[in-house]
Amino acid sequence: MEPRQTTLSVCVYCGSRHGSRPEYTEAARALGTAIGQRGWQLVYGGGKVGLMGEVADAVLAAGGRVVGVIPEALEKLEVGHRGLHELHVVPTMHIRKQMMAERADAFIALPGGIGTLEELYEVWTWRQLKYHDNPIALLDTAGYWQPLLSFMQHTVAEGFLAQPVNEFVMVGSEPVALLDRVAAAALAARGGDDYSKV
């Protein structure tokens, strides 16, 4: 009999910049701290800069485990975080995203640019196609995701998307409360695995 999984592995997508509002950095730190305090694992893009670095450093400072996956092209720019439990340097973005997804029980997107959007939409699409049933969430700091959510409702109104697909994504503005919801959904998806410190 295999041992039960007792910790949650959360994949976080976010910007390699800090953005124009201090709230973005504060939220990244709060989310990372909450993940670390719960003894959970962070899986992320492996960078030491921007919100990526803030989340990773906060998880580490709070005692959590951090796994980074970074493509060779970015590692050559010396943006890889060398203080992680694991840093995987991989040949392509495709391999990076696949490895991150395979190591995750849940996905949370913080504010970010086109790379963050691309990662979010990929796991969102995979959820629609039933490739996974892991929860997906948006940390909606300072209303950052509201324009995207409005656009997604527009795609429904225009007949290109069924409303239930939008309902795959949880939205919240408070990091700890959002983590509680993500943990509950991940627990349900796993049929009752015992995530400690939920």
Apex CA 105: angle with CA 100 and CA 108, to 5°?
75
pLDDT(197) > 70: no
Residue 194 has what pLDDT?
53
Residue 6 has what pLDDT?
55
SS3 state at 172: strand
Tell me the pLDDT tens digit for each residue of 114-142: 999 999 999 999 999 999 999 999 999 99
**Which pTM does this prediction carry?**
0.92
Residue 3 has what pLDDT?
36
Tell me the pLDDT tens digit for each residue of 37-85: 999 999 999 999 999 999 999 999 999 999 999 999 888 777 889 999 9
Torsion of CA 176, 69, 54, 78, to 10 degrees: 180
Alpha-carbon distance values, 100 to 45, 90, 156, 167 (Å)? 8, 11, 29, 23
pLDDT(195) > 60: no
Residue 1 has what pLDDT?
32
Sequence spans of domains, the chain: 9-189
Q: Fold for domain 9-189?
A: Rossmann fold (3.40.50)
Q: Give me the residues paired with residue 88 across strands.
A: 69
More reliable by pLDDT, 34 or 190: 34
